[in-house]
């Protein structure tokens, strides 16, 4: 049995000249696929945790006949980039003036602090007013510690968030921002 060493595959996604209409999750998955194929980072969306109440065996293997979605206590995406642990969450809102914190599970907000304490890179990507912002976990935590508000004003995102330019390929190059803010002055 041979395991070929050539593990780098060419990126072969259908050409998409516009990202308009792609939701945030699709933009991120698309971008992570690009990072993977170019061997830039290994970052994946975690599968949604499922509870299984009923499963049956068929000729095609085990099939779920009754399952339900569990609510996650960690963040949606994690992986490794430039030797560092990275974990983040992605959220969208249609609100124009503030981002409702109810978009997070409370466990997730606590968990962000823990990832930071353990030395990970942790942030949220927030799509709002047609832009995607990277908000560092440290800044989000600071906001939560200093405020009792149930939402983050858009002005806070504009001041402390880093705007990510959507482009062709990858469609949402958030690691460019990660380079700037977490690897200042370091060369790849």
Window of 15-23, 80-88, 164-172, 179-187 that interacts with its own copies by CB under 8 A: 80-88
Q: What is the nearest approach in angstroms of its own copies to the Cβ of residue 18?
A: 28
Q: What is the nearest approach in angstroms of its own copies to the Cβ of residue 60?
A: 7
Q: What is the nearest approach in angstroms of its own copies to the Cβ of residue 79?
A: 8
Check if the beta carbon of residue 113 is closer than 8 Å to that of residue 136: no
Residues 92-151 that bind its own copies (CB under 8 A): 101, 106, 109-111, 113-115, 117-120, 144-145, 148-150
Question: Is residue 15 at the binding interface for its own copies, with CB under 8 A as the rule?
Answer: no
Among 13, 80, 142, 155, which residue sits at the site for its own copies (rule: CB under 8 A)? 80
Question: Is residue 2 at the binding interface for its own copies, with CB under 8 A as the rule?
Answer: yes
Window of 22-30, 64-72, 129-137, 180-188 that interacts with its own copies by CB under 8 A: 64-72
């Amino acid at each position: 049995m041979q395991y070929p060493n050539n593990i780098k595959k060419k990126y072969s996604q259908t050409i998409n000249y516009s990202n308009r209409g792609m939701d945030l999750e699709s933009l991120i998955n698309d971008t992570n696929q690009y990072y993977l194929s170019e061997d830039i980072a290994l970052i994946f969306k975690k599968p949604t945790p499922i509870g299984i109440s009923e499963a049956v065996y068929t000729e095609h293997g085990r099939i779920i006949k009754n399952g339900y979605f569990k609510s996650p206590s960690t963040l949606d995406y994690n992986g490794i980039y430039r030797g560092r642990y990275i974990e983040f969450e992605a959220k969208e809102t249609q609100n124009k003036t503030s981002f409702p914190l109810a978009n997070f599970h409370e466990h997730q907000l606590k968990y962000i602090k823990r990832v930071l304490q353990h030395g990970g890179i942790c942030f949220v990507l927030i799509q709002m007013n047609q832009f995607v912002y990277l908000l560092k976990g440290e800044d989000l935590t600071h906001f939560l510690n200093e405020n009792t508000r149930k939402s983050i004003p858009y002005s806070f995102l504009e001041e402390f968030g880093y705007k990510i330019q959507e482009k062709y390929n990858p469609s949402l190059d958030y690691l460019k921002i990660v380079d700037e803010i977490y690897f200042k002055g370091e060369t790849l």
